[in-house]
Structure 1
Amino acid sequence: MSITLQTRKRLSPGESRAVAVAAARQLLRDEGVAAVTLKSVAGKIGRTHANLLHHFGSVAGLHRALAEDIAHTVSASITEAIGKRRRGEASERDVVDAMFDAFHAERVGELIGWIALTRQREALQPVVDTIAAIVEDFRASGDTRPMDRVTLGLVLMAIGDSLAGSEVAAASGLGREAVREDAVGLIKGIVGQA
């Protein structure tokens, strides 16, 4: 799918940002986080580097907007899986699969690693806010189990898996599914059997 604009049509600031974030997301998926630069995104959407500077302020601003966009997608996927689990329509493994699949598809580990290594910690705020919202949702629903610990463990496992899961699993002599099985074990170990 191409994000390239066909004409130099004038877009609203919100539309310009959305098109740029969509292009950044596609670059992240296709080429990795190092490809997500103001210049590459501008070229992909037929705008100038200066135009993106106007909308994002810096590449860190673009990365933050990208992290926010991805955090919304990942959060929606996880929240849906948690809702199904609460209604008895899904298992712990379904929740783990939803989380790990979303992190893998969106290359969350790579984005978080890049943001951390380039010391753009403020760009992690949308991810932090999403995690806090998931934990707060458990509390608001009256769940007294230590879901904060479960969430912490699952998020860290999913980040690592999305970053280098296949390589680490192969080096360990295990299949890629082993970490997901361990994630289910983490849930059951902290909160007990359902």
Structure 2
Amino acid sequence: MREVEKLFSSFQGLQELLTTYNELDSLITNFKAKTQLDCLKGCRKCCHTPAHNIEASVLEMLPLSIHIWQSGQEEYWLQKLSETRPEDPCVLYIPNPSIKSEGGCSKYTWRPLLCRLFGFSAVTDKQGKPVVALCKKVKQLNPDLEAKIQCLIDGGLKVPINSHFAERVSFLNPFFGQTLYPINEAFRLALEVVGYRLTLISRHTTLFR
């Protein structure tokens, strides 16, 4: 446990990232409750896309990578990542609903920022006004929903703004937080960084034992 604490504290902004995620999750929970908006049951459309369409920073993938190293699964995931092609989906994606019926992400708790925001957030127009950005499939099945939700936002309902959270997260760690990669690449880099950092911590602990 102490090694994990050292690992977390060794990365600038990592604890703040988790705090930001908690804040965002609470905001989205309230937004969903007030709008009755939710993902379609069993849908995994947003995951069913080439990984280069989903971008994340190394910082965003560090919590998952630490969890992976903690659970001794690093070799499995590094091998899986080495076998992926650019057009392949995210390695965390489970396409088979019989394996995971509620959704397609095998590591949902540790998902990066974009995956948290998608379908439950807003962009800003030229005047800086928040404009809700719904999932295309939800809009197709509920043609009137977008206008109803926008009316609530115009009336003061708080909604996560994509660009605000993206900027906030990027500045938590200027080195690992500001460059975005396809999610598989960001995951691979984060796993390698955590492995290297663990080696340094282990050597330092041995040296001063």
- The TM-score range, normalised by the shorter chain, is under 0.3
- Please report the TM-score for the alignment, with normalisation by the length of structure 1: 0.26
- Please report the TM-score for the alignment, with normalisation by the length of structure 2: 0.25
Q: When you count strand as a share of all residues, which structure comes out higher?
A: 2
